[in-house]
Amino acid sequence: MLGRSARDEQQLLEAIEEVPLDCIYYHTHSFFLRHKYIAGPYPNDFATWAAIQVRDRVLGEKLGVLDPYEFESLESLRVEIVTIIEEHLSELQIIPRAIYGEPFHFMQSRIIEVATGLAARTLTEFREILATVDASVIYYHTFEAMLRLGRRKGDFSIWIEEQLGLPELAQKISRLDPYMTSLEIIRHRILKLCDEVLEKRTLK
C-alpha cells in the first residue's frame, strides 16, 4: 500500500501520473489474480472506482473498455489512462468526487515466481495438471506471459503449437479473451477445448 489516496478524479489523475509503474500494473493487470472467481463491474480498478465509488458511469465505461494487453508497455498504458481522464474532465464543469463512496487507495504489487515442479509432455498430461493447479498458475501462464513475452499469446498456446504440434488448438486458446472473464472460466474453457481434441483422437 502506498499510503496515498484520491477522493476525486483530479486527484486520481495527478496520482496516476506520479505513482510507480508497479502500481499501474496492480490496478490493471493483477485484477484477475485478486478476483480469481468473480470479475468486478469492470476489469480494472480505476474504472470500477469511477463507476461505483464516484458514481461517474461515463468515466467508468471509458476506462473499463481499455484492454491493458494491447499496450506495448506499462508507461504507454499510463499515458492512455491519463489522456482519457484529462479529456473526460475537460468536458465537465465540476470535478466528480467520491461523496458517499470510498476514496481510491493506491497499491502496488510484485509477482513471486514459484516453480510448481509439475511438467506435462502430452496433451492428456497437460489437461490433467491444468484441472488441479492453483488458479495463479493460469494467471502466470496467460496474463503474466502476455506482458512478459510482449505478444498476445500466452505460454499455453505457444507450447501447444510448438511442442505438441497442434496449431489449431493453440489458436483457439489464444483467441480466448482473458480480459473479459475470470481465471476459473479460462481454466474451464481451455479444458473444454483440450477435451474436444482428446475426444476426437479417441473416436479415430
Chain residues in the site for another protein (CB under 8 A) = 1-3, 5, 36-38, 40, 52, 100, 102-103, 105, 107, 110, 112, 114-117, 131-137
Task: Rank residues 107 and 198 by Cβ distance to another protein and give the closer one.
Answer: 107
CA distance readout (Å), 12 to 24, 35, 54, 60, 84: 12, 22, 11, 13, 12
Q: Which three cell numbers stand for residue 26?
A: 496492480
Q: How far apart are CA 98 and CA 193, in angstroms?
A: 44
Task: Rank residues 86 and 134 by Cβ distance to another protein and give the closer one.
Answer: 134
**At its nearest, how many Å lie between another protein and the CB of residue 119?**
14
Give the three-class secondary structure for 6.
strand
Q: How far apart are CA 31 and CA 46, in angstroms?
A: 11
Task: Rank residues 30 and 174 by Cβ distance to another protein and give the closer one.
Answer: 30
Q: How far apart are CA 100 and CA 54, in angstroms?
A: 8
**At its nearest, how many Å lie between another protein and the CB of residue 97?**
16
Task: Rank residues 112 and 203 by Cβ distance to another protein and give the closer one.
Answer: 112
**At its nearest, how many Å lie between another protein and the CB of residue 14?**
17
**At its nearest, how many Å lie between another protein and the CB of residue 183?**
10
